[in-house]
Amino acid sequence: MHTADPLHSATRISTADEAVIRTLYLEHGGPLLGFALRLTGGDRAWAEDVVQETLLRAWRHPEALDPGRGSVRGWLCTVARNVVIDVGRARRARPPETGDAVLATVPDEGAEAEFDRAVLAWDVADAMAALSPEHRAVLLETYYRGSSVADAAKTLGVPEGTVKSRTYYALRALRVALEERGLVP
């Protein structure tokens, strides 16, 4: 409830009490709101809640409103200050509330796609690890390093025909390994 009018409180009050609170609000509401705004660092909604809670406490403790006990506005300001302190303590005692700043840390779609690519790369690396060393080596040379069949044959020390056949069977084995992991339909 973000209204400075204490009469919107869920608590039922009598007509006489309503008149007292309305008079308090008319006489002290503006200065009390200004004081509460300074206490809350300019948070108007919180300041309005502080004013409402302060006037509710005044209604609950009518003896404090006796001018013979001192300044009513002074008492209201002290109550408002205590309300702000109580809220501050309560906020420190529980986990912090999340605001819009937390949303800035949520990855956007581009970051999500990048994350998906990273997970896929890990899955493919895991599937590659399941291949024989010969199949793994030929796929690394031909697909990941981009070597031609002739260059792969020189690097691996095998004939070009062997590179071609190993590549064919390595791709089939890789497909099976990926299917086992649920990555290929």
Q: How many CB atoms lie within 10 A of CB 6?
A: 22
Residue 111, pLDDT above cutoff 80:
no
Least confident of 12-16, 47-51, 91-95: 12-16
Q: pLDDT of 148-181, one tens digit each?
A: 999 999 999 999 999 999 999 999 999 998 888 8
Tell me how far apart the terminal alpha carbons of the chain are, to the nearest angstrom. Answer: 54
Q: pLDDT of 53-100, one tens digit each?
A: 988 888 888 787 777 777 788 888 889 999 999 888 887 787 766 666
Specify the pTM. 0.44
Going from the N-terminus, what domains does the chain have, and what CATH number goes with each?
6-97 (1.10.1740.10), 109-180 (1.10.10.10)
At 97 the pLDDT is 64
Q: pLDDT of 22-42, one tens digit each?
A: 888 888 888 888 889 898 888
Q: How far, CA to CA in Å, does 163 sit from each of 48, 133, 153?
A: 78, 13, 6
